């Protein structure tokens, strides 16, 4: 009986640990997408300015 209880409690702990380790939250995901879009736009403007000889 003790071995079963110990195994069940270990399984419960492992399950609880896994549920808290998800990916980024929706707010973090929006910030990440905003950062990526901002840097992409920055690089594109820099490339365009260089190609046009503005720098």
Domain assignment of residue 3, yes or no: no
Domain assignment of residue 5, yes or no: no
Domain assignment of residue 8, yes or no: no
pLDDT given at position 24:
76
Domain assignment of residue 2, yes or no: no
Domain assignment of residue 45, yes or no: yes
Q: What's the domain count of the chain?
A: 1
pLDDT given at position 8:
75
Range of the domain at 40: 25-55
| Neighbouring C-beta atoms of residue 31, cutoff 10 Å | 12
Q: What is the pTM of this model?
A: 0.53
The Cα–Cα gap between 22 and 31 comes to 17
Domain assignment of residue 6, yes or no: no
Question: Mean pLDDT of residues grouped by 10 in the chain (55 residues)?
Answer: 67 61 81 96 96 88
């Amino acid at each position: 009986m003790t071995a079963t209880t110990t195994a069940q409690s270990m399984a419960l702990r492992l399950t609880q640990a896994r549920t808290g380790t998800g990916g980024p939250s929706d707010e973090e995901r929006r910030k990440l997408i905003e950062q990526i879009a901002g840097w992409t736009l920055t690089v594109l403007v820099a490339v365009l300015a260089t190609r046009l000889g503005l720098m």
